[in-house]
């Protein structure tokens, strides 16, 4: 099969990134004997000193629990999910597989497929040297505006619970602990550590707790993570009613309960309520001094500490028995390549795709000697997931354009054009390489600003997988709690000739130089707060430079972890719990948007059909911020309407984790909801468009005609630390049925 495609002046993202270099020494966490496997937990507790017990109540670092070598108790390593296993570093992410987002999994309505997906994630987790995956997320999609809606299965508690149970079983039957999250009512990002979800007892039970109850009773997750927020005035991490009365007594849950990262807010209240483990470490609350002070004042007793320690040790022992080679391994992270995994990911992504409209049987595209226009910013995007904790370094990415090219019927001609930019942040500098010639940048950390000109004086070198780095969990001990500096370098080959816009967003301050010339200054200016770096970064500051196609440009970004003059006083959301450091460099050609739209219309006019690929991405759907509205970015809606006006066989492919507005729904011939499809998204979409796979997915959420129809429309986001769940039981499709509101596309369609 062959296909032709017109040349494009815009950069195509890479298909893979390298894994970071493995450590040169073995991990300090797993170097004990295996006596722990057969040890009696009560006996171990009796032999632990008071201070050893206190240490076991919190993590050792970002991803490990504390080992007690004296008693051969190993540390346990965790890693983030839910659509892949990232590994132990945000900055140096190990390349891995990305399964479709959880909304896509929900759209399969196939628990057996989710079980297979989780089994694959168990293997990926072990490849990262970990035995616990922070997943699945089963919060209800109360509103499509929720920043992490893409991480959840559905608006329906029964579907969410059944999918979660299969996910948990797939992990745990393969030796990896599920960490069910976020218990409970973590349905928005606005003031997420402070907000109180004011919800009736009946709605709490029947809607928000129900998926957790189903997963606990059907699959017995080894661990559960408490949410950041409060419920009816009390932080879940300190709620004896939710953790002890409901979870442990009513549901007979016997596993471990851990905090979300920095989601512990006290010493005694959390311990008394039943939160076993504070993460991450080292401890912020459960320090030797603070816990000992609570013991001395009789706020807690050592027996109550023993209860919490017992849960942690039983959890660690079960994992050591299930996966001893990993728990007692060397903690080296690897990337596996298996053609069978790729084939399954393609099948899984294809099974999640929902065909919402197919007027005049515009699909499948099977005509030979036809000319098809592929238009839209999503066609060449390497977006595999939303952002935040779900972010991954995908080992490879099949874009929609790649999939359509490779899988095209014989003699089908494809013509591509951008149509319109649709990014919130300028894309990473695709094509940048570090000094070793690998994809990505070098980032060197320095103790003194004068050392920045001398790479040999670096305290640490990090190998970033692209032109950005969140480095909060990679800071050497001798740089913590003090000012430090960094330099990010790389060689970038310009993909076009002409004006190129560069951007710099930081959590700290920085300057960007291109071939030695200052292009963007985000150091001395009054910095403006933005959404990046979990809500703690600046907005992008911009600069323009002229480049020539094929020109090798030297990128240098100088950074300080000390924020600029105003950012510390003007943080958008002071309830974000994690203190971050990082920098992000973006770039994109300066384009004439009107000319791009005209080019798209001209291309569409001369074609037999149009595939318009649009959607969102990690800059729009992410942890730490919510979406402001349901609109597609920039001039996307205008692009669709103008193209549809000149070609009646226009098919729109939407890549998003939740609902988007579709004011053009009646003007196009086809609509395909493709979600975030993971590594194989492009091939899976091509399989559907070319008729090789039946689009059997069904909507796990309701798509509204307008944002005002969403049940939580009048009560979303926090006001003075409170959000009222005023819709009660009428969440999702129940609202539309009760109010007789016609959705654009109903749940299950």
List, run by run, the mean pLDDT of 10-residue segments along the chain (749 residues): 44 50 48 90 98 98 96 97 94 96 98 98 98 98 98 98 98 98 97 97 98 98 98 98 98 98 97 98 97 97 98 98 97 95 98 98 92 98 94 96 95 96 96 96 97 96 95 88 96 97 96 98 89 90 97 98 66 60 97 98 97 97 96 98 98 98 98 98 98 97 98 95 98 98 98
| CATH number of domain containing 406 | 3.40.50.1700
What local confidence, expressed as pLDDT, does residue 568 receive?
46
CATH number of the domain encompassing residue 452:
2.60.120.260
Nearest Cα to Cα of residue 619 among 632, 605, 607 = 632
Asked if residue 311 is part of any domain, the answer here is no
Same-domain pairing of 460 and 573: yes
> Is residue 728 situated within a structural domain?
no
Domain match, 545 and 576 both = yes
User: Is residue 445 located within the same domain as residue 583?
Assistant: yes
The pLDDT value given to residue 580? 86
- Do residues 684 and 605 share a domain? yes
Tokens of 499: 């004006």
Asked if residue 555 and residue 459 are part of one domain, the reply reads yes
CA distances from 382 to 348, 352, 402, 555, 602 (A): 18, 18, 10, 22, 26
Which residue in the block uniquely carries the two structure tokens 């979990």?
534
Q: Decide if 603 is inside a domain.
A: yes
DSSP secondary structure letters along 213-243: HHHHHHH--SEEEE-SSEETTEEGGG-HIII
Out of 589, 621, 649, a domain closes at 589
Q: What is the pLDDT of residue 472?
A: 83
What the block records as the tokens of 440 is 């990505």
| Domain end marker among 589, 622, 650 | 589
Count the domains in the chain.
2
Residues 464 and 535 placed together within one structural domain of the fold: yes
Residue 244 lies in a domain: no
Residues 471 and 584 in one domain: yes
Q: Does residue 715 carry a catalytic annotation?
A: no
197 is a domain residue? no
How much is the pLDDT for 367? Answer: 83
- In three-state form (DSSP H/G/I as H, E/B as E, the rest C), the secondary structure along 348-367 is HHHHHCEEEEEHHHCCCCCC
Flag whether 649 is in a domain.
Answer: yes
The pLDDT value recorded for residue 524 is: 81
**Contact between residue 72 and residue 33 where contact means Cβ atoms under 8 Å apart:** yes
Which of 589, 611, 631 is the C-terminal boundary of a domain?
Answer: 589
Are 557 and 625 in a shared domain? no
Shared domain for 467 and 409, answered yes or no, is: no
Q: Within a domain: residue 357?
A: yes
Residues 576 and 640 in one domain: no
One domain for residues 548 and 563: yes
The pTM assigned to this predicted structure is 0.95
- Give the contacts of 38 (CB within 8 A, at least 6 positions apart): none
Structural contact between residues 184 and 236, judged by C-beta atoms closer than 8 angstroms: yes
**What's the pLDDT score for residue 525?**
82
Same domain, 599 and 674: yes
**If DSSP codes are grouped into helix, strand and coil, which group holds residue 487?**
strand
Structural contact between residues 634 and 679, judged by C-beta atoms closer than 8 angstroms:
no
Which residues, other chains included, contact 29 with Cβ-Cβ below 8 Å and sequence gap of 6+?
60, 64, 67, 74, 75, 77, 331
Whether 106 is in a domain gets the answer: no
Total Cβ atoms within 10 A of residue 499:
12
Of 124, 676, 14, the residue nearest 387 (C-alpha): 676
Q: What are phi and psi of 511, to 5 degrees?
A: -130, 140
Residues 6+ apart with CB under 8 A from 340: none
DSSP 632-684: PSTTHHHHHHHHHHH-SSEEEEEE-SS----TTGGGSSEEEE-----TTHHHH
Domain that holds residue 349: 3-11+338-423+592-699
Q: What is the three-class DSSP state of 372?
A: strand
Catalytic residue among 187, 260, 276, 473: 260
């Amino acid at each position: 099969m062959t296909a032709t495609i017109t040349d494009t002046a815009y950069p195509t993202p890479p298909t893979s990134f390298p894994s970071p270099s493995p450590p040169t020494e073995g991990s300090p966490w797993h170097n004990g004997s295996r006596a722990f496997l057969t040890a009696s937990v009560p006996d171990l507790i009796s032999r632990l000193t008071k201070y050893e017990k206190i240490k076991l109540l919190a993590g050792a670092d970002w991803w490990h629990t504390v080992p007690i070598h004296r008693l051969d108790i190993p540390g346990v390593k965790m890693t983030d999910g839910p659509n892949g296993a990232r590994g132990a570093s945000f900055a140096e992410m190990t390349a891995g597989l990305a399964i479709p987002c959880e909304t896509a999994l929900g759209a399969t309505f196939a628990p057996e497929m989710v079980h297979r997906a989780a089994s694959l994630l168990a293997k990926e987790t072990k490849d990262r040297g970990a035995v616990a995956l922070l997943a699945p997320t089963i919060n209800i999609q109360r509103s499509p505006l929720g920043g992490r809606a893409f991480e959840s299965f559905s608006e329906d508690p029964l579907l969410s619970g059944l999918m979660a149970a299969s996910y948990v079983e797939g992990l745990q039957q393969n030796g990896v602990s599920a960490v069910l999250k976020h218990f409970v009512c973590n349905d928005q990002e606005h003031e997420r550590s402070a907000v109180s979800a004011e919800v009736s007892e009946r709605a709490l039970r029947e809607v928000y707790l129900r998926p957790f109850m189903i997963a606990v009773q059907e699959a017995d997750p080894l661990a559960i993570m408490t949410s950041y927020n409060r419920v009816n005035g009390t932080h879940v991490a300190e709620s004896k009613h939710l953790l002890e009365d409901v979870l442990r007594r009513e549901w007979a849950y016997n596993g471990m309960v851990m905090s979300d990262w920095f989601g512990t807010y006290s010493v005694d209240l959390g311990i008394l309520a039943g939160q076993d483990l504070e993460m991450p470490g080292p401890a912020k609350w459960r320090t030797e001094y603070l816990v000992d002070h609570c013991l001395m004042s009789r706020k807690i007793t050592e027996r109550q500490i023993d209860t919490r320690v017992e849960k942690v040790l039983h959890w660690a022992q079960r994992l050591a028995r299930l996966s001893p080679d990993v728990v007692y391994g060397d903690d080296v992270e690897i990337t596996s390549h298996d053609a069978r995994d790729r084939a399954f990911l393609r099948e899984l992504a294809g099974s999640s795709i929902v065909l919402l409209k197919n007027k005049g049987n515009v699909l499948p595209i099977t005509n030979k000697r036809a000319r098809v226009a592929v238009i839209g910013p999503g066609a060449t995007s390497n977006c595999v997931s939303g952002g935040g904790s779900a972010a991954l370094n995908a080992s490879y990415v099949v874009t929609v354009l790649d999939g359509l090219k490779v899988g095209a019927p014989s003699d089908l001609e494809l013509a591509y054009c951008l149509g319109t930019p649709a990014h919130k942040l300028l894309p990473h500098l695709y094509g940048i390489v570090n000094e070793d010639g690998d994809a990505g940048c070098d980032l060197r950390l320095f103790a003194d600003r004068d050392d920045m000109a001398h790479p040999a004086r670096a305290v640490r070198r990090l190998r970033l997988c692209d032109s950005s780095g969140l480095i909060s969990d990679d800071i050497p001990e001798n740089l913590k709690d003090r000012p430090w500096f960094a330099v990010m370098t790389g060689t970038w080959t310009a993909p076009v000739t002409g004006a190129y816009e560069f951007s710099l967003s930081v959590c700290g301050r920085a300057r960007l130089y291109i071939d030695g010339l200052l292009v963007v200054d985000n150091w001395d200016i009054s910095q403006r707060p933005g959404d990046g770096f979990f809500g703690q970064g600046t907005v992008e500051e911009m600069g323009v430079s002229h480049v020539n196609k094929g020109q090798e440009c030297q990128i240098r970004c100088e950074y300080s972890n000390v924020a600029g003059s105003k950012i510390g006083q003007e943080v958008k959301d002071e309830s974000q719990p994690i203190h971050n450091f990082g920098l992000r460099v973006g770039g994109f050609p300066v384009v004439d948007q009107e000319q791009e739209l005209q080019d798209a219309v001209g291309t569409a006019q001369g074609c037999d059909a149009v595939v318009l690929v649009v959607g969102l991405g990690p800059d729009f759907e992410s942890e730490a911020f919510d979406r402001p509205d349901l609109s597609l970015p920039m001039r996307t809606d205008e692009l669709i309407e103008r193209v549809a006006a000149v070609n009646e066989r226009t098919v729109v492919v939407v890549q998003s984790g939740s609902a988007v507005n579709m004011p053009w729904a009646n003007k196009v011939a086809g609509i395909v909801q493709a979600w975030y499809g993971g590594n194989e998204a492009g091939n899976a979409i091509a399989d559907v468009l070319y008729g090789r796979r039946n689009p059997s997915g069904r909507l796990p959420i309701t798509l509204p005609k307008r944002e005002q129809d969403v049940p939580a429309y009048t009560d979303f986001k926090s006001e003075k630390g409170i959000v009222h769940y005023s819709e009660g039981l009428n969440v999702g499709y129940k609202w539309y049925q009760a109010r007789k509101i016609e959705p654009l596309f109903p749940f299950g369609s």
